Amino acid sequence: MKALFAGVPPLFLYVSTASGYAHWFDGGEFVAAAADFGISHPPGHPLASIVLGAANLAPIGALAFRVALVCALLGAVAAVALFFAFEHTLKVGGMVLDSLQFPLALAATWWVVGTQAWWFQAVRPEVYALQAALLCIAMERLLRVSLSGPDGDVRPLYHAALALGLALSNHHYLALLAVIPSLWLLVGVWRTWGWRPLAWSAGFLSAGLVTYLYLPLRALREPFLNLGNPSTAGRFLWVVTAEAFQKSLSPDAVAPFGERFSDVLLVTGEGLHVATLVVALLGAYFMLRVSASRKFGLFWLTVWAVFALGRAVLGFVSGNPDALAYLMLSYAALAVFAVFAVGVLLSALSEALPNRPRLAPILGAILALLASSQFVRSSAASSLADFVDTDVFDDGLRRSLPPRSIVLVHNPQTIFRFWGGEAEENSRPDVTMIPLPLLTYPSLVDRFVRDEPELTPLLRSYVLDGTLSVPGLQSLAALRPVYIEMDVRVTQDMMDLVVPEHLYHRVLTANTTDTDEARAMHRHATLWGDLYQRIGRPIEEHTRTQLIWRHYTDSLYFAAVGDTNAALRTVAAGLALNPHARELQMMQEALKAATPGERIDVTPFTIR
């Protein structure tokens, strides 16, 4: 019954607000991996490919929605395990009345799983709901065995070890962070039962790691998504280790550590409310002050520290839900400290008013009901029930392209959207999407060259020089429609060779006329008007980011070819979404200072 209270409300909430279409970021990639149990970016996430692939068994809805439902179920499992971990913690030291433990654990659970950091991972295709479920199970099992005496059951320790091993085969950085706080409790296990249970636990952990064998075995069958092709020992090691942490490093990582850590504290205060943090300090004091609860206090304190600091080390990217996911367990640690403080105070109140024994439990129940307000508080930022934006973009990114098109893509989110949509619909197998930032992945270029030999000169030039060859593009455009995604890495001389078409820029052929170019400009303006109408208002936060970026890169193109009016129009569209975007402001200043129709040197706005 307790599990139902803890898990059913979040499950209902997550399912009812799950994305019908894969969201931005890595969502499309994990839909593509789920489509035929493929291999995603390093470290490969073998367990996620297997678990999310179970969405293929669901009988209803698009694949992206079914994958989101799997994540919703995993989020609910994490909530149940977290509830029992909280309840175990409230038992330590005998400072919280038994009648308070259930409502307070429920209050903490609802308050945590209703934050955007938790909710958003359960409504989109991602690995973090699975990771939270595994790590919460591991923590709950470890806390349970730590509370039992020498005559207790040691088997929960083995469950925890297996869950941790599986977590290591899903997102090993987060799993490794979870090992550090566990040491406080494992010392007590060793003192109680000796080394033998720990040795058995190592075996169970290793059993979870066996999941990594999935990568080379699946790679041999060449699934739709096969990043890194880990079919040999060298490529297997590259996938599991080489790029795993590099992917997580953000440009913000160059900021001072204090600034990065301050960002983590700020977003924590926004997610849990500052009052929770203040009460959590009192709870930490209570738990650390008493010897019977001290090791549990140190456990939760270290949980908060390693995940908060672990995210700060990598650099916190504001507004990035992946960065928020790293803080899921640090939120849990602060919440359990807060309810522990409330539990101690209510228990003292109950002792002070012995003639009103029901007062404290009633107050605890009221607190649990108040905690459910977190779901309302976070709904605007977390719900994807009405999200259709990526599907709208898919028309211009993939569905409406001419037959046998070749698309050269810079933006990772465009790459993932293309993969996810095509894996689900298989509507444009004739279109070749070349993910330029990923061409260094083992075997990826070889795969393109093997399947389409006409790409060989262009890809060889890009791999060797790091830039697209103008003659190579023109030669390829004579054979097939060729599109480039506009980007700050597109050189100014190359901009003279393209015109806007769909959500890309098409490479011109020798027979292109000025009239064709004028029509392309007109269609570009019409396309954006239609796209905004279909997206509707208000515009989702991450969709807004994509729109701003595309307006900025379009302004680079128009400025470079001398279409000042179009450049000002696209800059204005971007500033309407974010008036404080520095790059757009600088471009606007350069355009206003230029003579109408004058080509602007956009080199300062691009990178090599």
In terms of DSSP H, where are the helices of 26-147?
27-35, 46-53, 63-91, 98-113, 116-119, 128-147
Residues 369 and 449 in one domain: no
Helix, strand, coil fractions of the chain, as percent rounded to 5 = 70, 5, 25
Q: Which of residues 324, 349, 379 is at a domain's end?
A: 379
Confidence of residue 90 (pLDDT cuts 50, 70, 90): very high
Integer angstrom CA distances of residue 404 from 73, 433, 484: 40, 10, 15
- In single-letter form, the type of residue at position 446 comes to D
Q: Tally Cβ neighbours within 10 Å of residue 471.
A: 10
Q: Do the beta carbons of residue 219 and residue 240 sit within 8 Å?
A: no
Residue 160 lies in a domain: yes
Query: H or E segment at 364?
Result: helix 359-371
Residues 191 and 321 in one domain: yes
Q: What is the pLDDT of residues 198-225, one digit of tens each?
A: 999 999 999 999 999 999 999 999 899 9
Confidence of residue 516 (pLDDT cuts 50, 70, 90): low
Residues 409 and 458 in one domain: yes
pLDDT at 33: 95
Integer angstrom CA distances of residue 292 from 7, 76, 84, 89, 142: 30, 31, 19, 11, 17
Residues 443 and 575 in one domain: yes
- Sequence-distant (6+) residues with CB within 8 A of 160 are 137, 138, 139, 141, 142, 145, 201
Percent of the chain with pLDDT over 90: 72
- Per DSSP, the three-state class of 173 is helix
Residues 509 and 445 in one domain: yes
Residues 334 and 475 in one domain: no
Residue 30 lies in a domain: yes
Residues 369 and 406 in one domain: no
pLDDT at 588: 92
> Where in the sequence is the domain holding 28, given as residue range(s)?
2-379
Give the closest residue to 179 by CA, choosing from 210, 220, 142, 153. 142
Sheet holding 432-435, edge to edge: 432-435, 406-409, 482-484, 504-507, 498-501
Q: Which of residues 345, 379, 413 is at a domain's end?
A: 379
> What's CA 209's distance to the chain center, in Å?
23
Residues 213 and 333 in one domain: yes
- Per DSSP, the three-state class of 607 is coil
Question: Residue 451: CA atoms inside 13 Å, Cβ hemisphere, count?
Answer: 12
- Per DSSP, the three-state class of 507 is strand
Residue 559 lies in a domain: yes
Residue 397 lies in a domain: yes
Residues 405, 480: Cα–Cα separation, whole Å: 6
pLDDT at 514: 63
Q: Do the beta carbons of residue 225 and residue 32 sit within 8 Å?
A: yes
Residue with tokens 């990178």: 607
Q: Cα dihedral sign for 459, 461, 465, 470?
A: negative
Residues 441, 230: Cα–Cα separation, whole Å: 10
Task: Find the farthest-apart pair of alpha carbons in the chain and give their distance in angstroms, rounded.
Answer: 94
Residues 563, 548: Cα–Cα separation, whole Å: 19
Q: What is the pLDDT of residues 405-425, one digit of tens each?
A: 999 999 999 999 999 999 999
- Per DSSP, the three-state class of 229 is coil
Q: What is the pLDDT of residues 235-249, one digit of tens each?
A: 999 999 865 445 444
- Sequence-distant (6+) residues with CB within 8 A of 181 are 298, 299, 300, 301, 302, 303, 306
Write down the number of H helices and E strands in the chain.
29, 5
Residue 249 lies in a domain: yes
Q: What domain count does the chain have? A: 2
Q: What is the pLDDT of residues 104-149, one digit of tens each?
A: 999 999 999 999 999 999 999 999 999 999 999 999 999 999 998 7
Confidence of residue 517 (pLDDT cuts 50, 70, 90): low
Average pLDDT over every residue of 175-202: 94
Confidence of residue 554 (pLDDT cuts 50, 70, 90): very high
Q: What is the pLDDT of residues 142-177, one digit of tens each?
A: 999 999 878 889 999 999 999 999 999 999 999 999
Would you say residue 564 has pLDDT above 80? yes
Residue with tokens 């991972």: 121
Residue 384 lies in a domain: no
Residues 423, 224: Cα–Cα separation, whole Å: 7
Residues 319 and 459 in one domain: no
pLDDT at 527: 86
Q: 532-571: string of b/e by CB count within 10 Å (b at 16+)?
A: eeebeeeebebbbbbbbbbbbbbbbbbbbbebbebbbbbb
pLDDT, averaged across the chain: 91
DSSP 439: T
pLDDT at 511: 60
Q: Do the beta carbons of residue 410 and residue 44 sit within 8 Å?
A: no
Give the closest residue to 381 by CA, choosing from 128, 118, 133, 581. 118
Residues 582, 94: Cα–Cα separation, whole Å: 56
- Per DSSP, the three-state class of 351 is helix
Phi, psi (5° rounding) for residue 499?
-135, 150
Would you say residue 518 has pLDDT above 80? no
Q: Decide the pairing of beta strands 432-435 and 482-484.
A: unpaired
Would you say residue 515 has pLDDT above 90? no
Residues 421, 289: Cα–Cα separation, whole Å: 55
Residue 93 lies in a domain: yes
Residue 590 lies in a domain: yes
Among 251-265, 404-418, 482-496, 540-554, which stretch is predicted with the lowest mean pLDDT? 251-265
Residue with tokens 């059993």: 207
Residues 372 and 416 in one domain: no
Residues 53 and 111 in one domain: yes
Q: Which of residues 379, 413, 440 is at a domain's end?
A: 379
Q: What is the pLDDT of residues 6-51, one digit of tens each?
A: 999 999 999 999 988 889 999 999 999 999 999 999 999 999 999 9
Q: Do the beta carbons of residue 55 and residue 69 sit within 8 Å?
A: yes
- Per DSSP, the three-state class of 435 is strand
Q: Do the beta carbons of residue 225 and residue 39 sit within 8 Å?
A: yes
DSSP 455: G
* Rg (the chain; Cα; Å): 27
pLDDT at 244: 42
Q: Do the beta carbons of residue 468 and residue 489 sit within 8 Å?
A: no
Residues 27, 476: Cα–Cα separation, whole Å: 31
Residues 367 and 410 in one domain: no
* DSSP string across 283-315: HHHHHHHSHHHHHHHHHHHHHHHHHHHHHHHH-
Residues 79, 14: Cα–Cα separation, whole Å: 11
State the SS3 of 373-417.
HHHHHHHHHHCCCCCCHHHHHHHHHHHCCCCCCEEEECCHHHHHH
